[in-house]
């Protein structure tokens, strides 16, 4: 019953409170591997609303499930989505923000094995998705990052690194993530 109630509230939120995600480059999607690690409820919540906050995704799966890493989405479900970039390449991002919530945001390279940030964020917004503005700045939904030149041998193997878009709505107290799996051409 408890599970049912939780799922219902997630499904309800999906119809009313879509918030945002990355639409390009292709970002990680839920799938069978995520279901195994994080549970069917978690996959159902993301499928019901791919723009919802991490806080609305129930984690009924194993201890290996970390919703705060790539929204729980697994590399095994996304091997066809791995992008190849060159060091120094400018990568254009598109985001959709159906419901903005003011707060900081960034895109960083994440070491997926350790869930740590490699180097500095590639772009940072002190204030992002400010619902008090009549029109959001164009760079909230279309921006670019540059793949660093100093990654060395890091990020050459698929599944090692992702570009993680991370946005926190301060008043909403809601976190949003999308992960783009990538390799740097050796």
Question: Which residues are at the interface with ligand NAG (CB under 6 A)?
Answer: 21-22, 27, 29, 49-51, 104-106, 108, 117, 121, 123, 125, 137, 139, 166, 168, 178
- Residue 94 or 185 with smaller CB distance to ligand NAG: 94
Q: E strand or H helix at 43, and its extent?
A: helix 40-48
- Residue 24 or 185 with smaller CB distance to ligand NAG: 24
CB of 69 to ligand NAG, least distance (A): 13
What token pair was written down for 137? 């700045």
* Size (the chain), residues: 186
- Residue 125 or 182 with smaller CB distance to ligand NAG: 125
CB of 115 to ligand NAG, least distance (A): 12
CA geometry: angle 47, 31, 56, nearest 5 deg? 40
- Residue 88 or 119 with smaller CB distance to ligand NAG: 119
CB of 24 to ligand NAG, least distance (A): 9
- Of 42, 44, 63, nearest to 54 by C-alpha is 42
Q: What values do phi and psi take at 2, rounded to 5?
A: -60, -45
d(CA 93, CA 108): 13
End-to-end CA distance of the chain: 52
- Residue 113 or 186 with smaller CB distance to ligand NAG: 113
- Of 166, 161, 165, nearest to 181 by C-alpha is 161
d(CA 43, CA 86): 32
CB of 44 to ligand NAG, least distance (A): 12
CB of 29 to ligand NAG, least distance (A): 6
């Amino acid at each position: 019953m408890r599970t049912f109630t939780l799922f219902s509230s997630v499904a309800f939120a999906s119809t009313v409170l879509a918030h945002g995600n990355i639409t390009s480059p292709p970002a990680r999607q839920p799938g069978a591997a995520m279901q195994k690690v994080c549970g069917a409820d978690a996959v159902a919540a993301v499928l019901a609303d791919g723009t919802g906050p991490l806080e609305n995704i129930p984690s009924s799966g194993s201890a290996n499930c970390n919703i705060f890493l790539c929204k729980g989405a697994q590399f095994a479900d996304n091997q066809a989505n791995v992008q190849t970039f060159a060091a120094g390449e400018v990568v254009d991002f598109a985001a959709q923000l159906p419901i903005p919530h003011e707060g900081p945001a960034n895109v960083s390279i994440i070491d997926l094995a350790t869930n740590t940030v490699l180097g500095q964020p590639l772009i940072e917004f002190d204030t992002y998705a400010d619902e008090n503005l009549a029109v959001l700045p164009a760079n909230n939904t279309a921006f670019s990052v540059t793949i660093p030149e100093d990654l060395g041998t890091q990020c050459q193997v698929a599944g090692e690194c992702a570009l993680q878009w991370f946005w926190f709505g301060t008043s909403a107290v809601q976190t949003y993530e999308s992960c783009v799996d990538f390799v740097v051409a050796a």
